[in-house]
Amino acid sequence: MPYVDPSRENWEAFKALPRDTPIHMLNLIKFRDKAEYPPGHPNHEKGLSGREAYAIYSAAFQALVADDGAAMVWSGPLECTVTGPADEWDEAFVMGYPNSGAFMAMVKNPRYVAEALPHRTAAVADSRLIRFAG
């Protein structure tokens, strides 16, 4: 079963954890072959790949969090899967946040919702977002 957005139960568990300590978020992403923008979006039927749409998302996201203390902690090209399906993920990275409150504020930011999130939704076929203590 693919996952793109958090379930209500997982979001409630995230919110129940301490909000004032640094966190790291492991992101595992599987791209759609072709980005799926909704009708009416400027990129609808432009033929962008999921990877191209995610690059647009990533640039918008990085611009939004640059002043909030969030930063890429680690990113690297996938070479091979040692345990698990060989083609399960296309991209993996770790984002650091000063606290979970900063993460929650980011996902509720109207600019994030309008300018970044549509590209992520169009790009991602499956994902995992896993919180670790920072």
Determine, yes or no, domain membership for 70. yes
For the stretch 50-94, pLDDT in tens is 999 999 999 999 999 888 889 999 998 899 999 999 989 999 999
39: domain CATH number? 3.30.70.100
Rounded to two decimals, the pTM is 0.92
Kindly indicate the confidence band of residue 1, based on its pLDDT and cuts at 50, 70 and 90: confident
The answer to the question of residue 30 being in a domain is yes
pLDDT band at 134 (very low <50, low <70, confident <90, very high): confident
Are 4 and 35 spatial neighbours (Cβ–Cβ below 8 Å)?
Answer: no
The whole-angstrom separation of Cα 130 and Cα 75 is 15
Residue 13 in any domain: the answer is no
Residue 9 placed within a domain? no
Reduce the DSSP state of residue 33 to 3 states and report it: coil
Asked if the structure places residue 1 within a domain, the reply is no
Residues 106-126: tens digit of each pLDDT = 999 999 999 999 999 999 999
What one-letter code names the amino acid at 53?
Answer: A
Do the domain assignments include residue 100? yes
Residue 87 lies in a domain: no
90, 30 Cβ separation under 8 angstroms = yes
The answer to whether residue 122 is domain-embedded is yes
Total of domains in the chain: 1
Residue range(s) defining the domain that contains residue 100: 20-82+94-133
Place of tokens 């670790």: 132
CB 89 within 8 A of CB 130: no
